[in-house]
Structure 1
Amino acid sequence: MDAVQKLENGEIKIAEEVIATIAGLAATDINGVAGMSGGLVGGIAEILGKRNLAKGVKLEINDKGAFIDLYLIVEYGTRIPDVAWEIQDKVKTSIQTMTSLNVVEVNIHIQGVNFPKEKEHEDKPQDLK
């Protein structure tokens, strides 16, 4: 269901994908967020070259407002409660500012942890000749 706002001269309809994209961009802008978790279908779409900015966002809109679920991957060492609060605040503020839609809930689901890749060190023992 799209977000609909009735105005004096007509109405404004905002597609769910637009709201989901705003949420996804706001969430990934937070330090400690490695990315969104879109599941198998989202992963296949990205392999095929289609980048979905709403990946990892589940959205429900009703007469009370928007209920948002974000599925995220965080960086190793991130303090999850602090990052989750920051994401909730930024997503809510971004959506309300850009769309005037009431955001009732922003639920955070941590789906994984991104570990730093091991680097090839020059100081590895080499074979002696």
Structure 2
Amino acid sequence: MMTEERETGKIKIESDVVAMIAGLAATDTEGVASMSGGITEGLAKRVSGKNVTKGVRVEVGETETAIDIRVVIKYGYKIHEVARKLQQNVKEAVESMTGLHVVEVNIHVEGVELQKEEHETEEENIRLK
């Protein structure tokens, strides 16, 4: 939790708030299929948009934060490019909304989501052969 004391009083930003901002920025990044709950909840288990903090772990200090995000990437996207864009989006969102300095955003890619249509077409082609 970040705490800032001023003449007018204290400002506290809970780690859950930072996690929510990071999660929303992550789900808004093109190429991210979903957030992942991590190995403990099953590899590449999808998480509904209602709980955007799943798959996000933050450490918040007095003025800095470090963020870990677990995601599933959409098939066909370049994973390294999506991950870099994700790092940038999360860093910008958290810094602009909280004033905290983001020291690192670690991306853990836990799976690739095949688009349903492509997957079904692939299965049909196999059956036809």
Decide: shared fold, TM above 0.5: yes
Kept in 1: contact 2:2–2:63 (CA 8 A): no
* Amino acid in structure 1 at the alignment position of 2:115: P
- Give the Cα–Cα distance (whole angstroms) in 2 for the partners of residues 80 and 98 of structure 1: 27
Greater shift, 27-36 or 59-68, is seen at: 59-68
List structure 1 runs of 4+ shifted beyond 4 angstroms. none
* AA partner of residue 94 (structure 2): I
| TM-score (norm. length: structure 2) | 0.80
Structure with greater helix percent: 2
Gaps of 5+ in 2: none
Contact 1:64 1:104 in 2 (8 A): no
How many pairs were matched up?
118
Establish whether residue 34 from structure 1 lines up as the match of residue 25 from structure 2: no
Residue 25 of structure 1 corresponds to 24
Partner in structure 2 of residue 127 of structure 1: none
Residue number in structure 1 paired with 2:93:
94
CA offsets 1:65-97 (integer angstroms, 9 cap, x no match): 101000000001111111111111111110111
Provide the aligned C-alpha RMSD in A: 2.6
Retained in 2: the 8 A contact 1:96–1:102? yes
- CA deviation vs aligned residue, 1:18-77 (integer Å, no higher than 9, x gap): 110100000110110001101429x6x96xxx9312110011122461010000000011
Alignment gaps of 5+ in structure 1: 125-129
Which 10-residue stretch deviates more, 7-16 or 20-29? 7-16
What fraction of aligned residue pairs are identical, expressed as a percent? 43
> So what's the TM-score if we normalise by structure 1?
0.80
Q: What is the alpha-carbon distance in structure 1 between the residues aligned to residue 2 and residue 37 of structure 2?
A: 23
C-alpha separation in 2, matches of 1:7 and 1:33 = 39
Q: Distance in 2 between matches of 1:31 and 1:98?
A: 21
Pick the structure with greater CA Rg: 1
**Map of 1:106-125 to 2, 5 A cutoff?**
106-117=105-116, 118-119=119-120
What is the CA–CA distance in structure 2 between the aligned matches of 1:66 and 1:29, rounded to whole Å? 20
- Please give the secondary structure, in 1, of the residue aligned with 2:51: coil
Letter of the aligned partner of 1:74 in structure 2? I
